[in-house]
Homo-oligomer: A and B are copies of this chain.
């Protein structure tokens, strides 16, 4: 059987995009799809659109050596992410029409409005591209709108990487829990905050821990988004909207970060056999859904208490299965890049099913 061939338009090509390009190359023999890069749009490394396909090794080498991607472009020019999407849609119109053009979105999130991801996703769907994003913006700010758009153009919009990297959360519920109602959740879903709290427990300094997360490419570009709970709030909104059918933005999540948590607080908690963790949660109260992100003092028997460093976990409250949890013991760039791979694989399955009909 011939594998579906996907043409990828990467909008944003930082840590995640570069790791994705390498990972797709490394595991190519196991993939249920073929792929090539046809466009890359970045804020800092220029852009390239080439319908004949981009040499991935050369693109990565240019970035490593600080040179612009424009050097690979047949007719280089200054372009925004939106410009790249629109040009790729024109230059690869047949592939867009066949559903083989996929926009992979991994830009930096603006927590005020979910941009620029939201505009990128809208433009890509309008251009009949499938969308895979690791961005929390679309599901956190415009879940219903984006899902309706995707359905109207018969394209997928997937975002497994928005929460807990490649460990399945959205796919877990959609693909493996049919007929189950999610009534709430509790989780530790911001890696940087959890690493900082764990570092404080070890006697390390707050700022050193943040810097370590930045060096590993895990902290947000602006780490205050992690520390002040915004990243967790955006993920919480995405989870509420997608898994519970809610309609909240990150700004409607009751939010307290870990900036005020001191080494003394941690020491006091430990002396009482407890742990402080930044907990994201949601629960239905009558018709309303209350969503919160805040440091909680946890007893040792709480399944979130034992999560250290880069561990994440999400416990879903369900009506048929009670509480079930999914746990990620290591969070790193490969895992985030894998989230994109798993979503691309879903698109490949969909293409194969459509071709068979």
Q: Could you tell me if A306 and B315 are in contact, using CB atoms closer than 8 angstroms?
A: no
Contacts of A30 in B (CB 8 A): 179, 181
Q: A167-B321, A172-B168, A328-B324 are in contact. Are A179 and B27 (CB under 8 A)?
A: yes
**Cβ A325 vs Cβ B324 within 8 A:** no
Q: Are A175 and B167 in contact (CB under 8 A)?
A: no
Q: Does A300 contact B (CB under 8 A)?
A: yes
Contacting pair A329 B324 (CB below 8 A): yes
Contact B303 A329 (CB under 8 A): yes
Expressed in whole angstroms, the Cα–Cα distance for A327 and B335 within the complex equals: 20
Within 8 A of B (CB), among A290-333: 300-301, 303, 306, 308, 313, 315, 320-330, 332
Q: Kindly state whether residue A32 has any CB partner on chain B within 8 Å.
A: yes
* Interface status of A166 (Cβ within 8 A of chain B): yes
Would you call A18 an interface residue if the criterion is a C-beta within 8 Å of the partner chain's C-beta atoms?
no
A32→B168 contact, CB < 8 A: no
Q: Which of B330, B346, B357 contacts A356 (CB 8 A)?
A: B357
Q: Is A195 an interface residue (CB 8 A)?
A: no
Of A306, A324, A329, A330, the most chain B CB neighbours within 10 A belong to A324
When distances are taken between beta carbons in the complex, the residues of chain B under 8 Å from A353 are 353, 356
Residues of A in contact with B, size category: 35 or more
Nearest-Cβ distance from residue A345 to partner chain B, whole angstroms: 4
Q: CB within 8 A of A329: which of B172, B177, B322, B332?
A: B322
The answer to whether A342 has its CB under 8 Å from any CB of chain B is: yes
Specify the chain B residue showing the minimal Cβ separation from A179.
B30
A342 touches B178 (CB 8 A): yes
* Residue interface bits A21-56, CB-to-B below 8 A is 1, else 0: 001000100111000000000000000000000000
Do residues A326 and B325 form an inter-chain contact, with CB atoms below 8 A? yes
Q: Does A338 contact B (CB under 8 A)?
A: yes
- In the complex, residue of chain B having the shortest beta-carbon distance to the beta carbon of A353: B353
Q: Does A341 contact B (CB under 8 A)?
A: yes
Instruction: Say yes or no: B342 contacts A176, CB within 8 Å.
Output: yes
**In the complex, what's the smallest C-beta–C-beta distance from A188 to chain B, in angstroms?**
13
Contact of A335 among B303, B320, B335, B357 (CB under 8 A): B320
Task: Give the distance to chain B from A291, nearest Cβ to Cβ, in Å.
Answer: 21
Interchain Cβ contacts under 8 Å between A and B, 22 examples: A23-B320, A27-B179, A32-B178, A167-B321, A171-B176, A172-B172, A172-B176, A175-B175, A176-B342, A178-B342, A178-B345, A178-B346, A179-B342, A313-B327, A315-B329, A322-B330, A322-B335, A323-B329, A324-B327, A325-B329, A326-B327, A357-B357
Extra contacts, 5 of them, besides A27-B179, A179-B342, A313-B325 (Cβ < 8 A), are: A177-B342, A300-B300, A303-B306, A321-B330, A324-B327
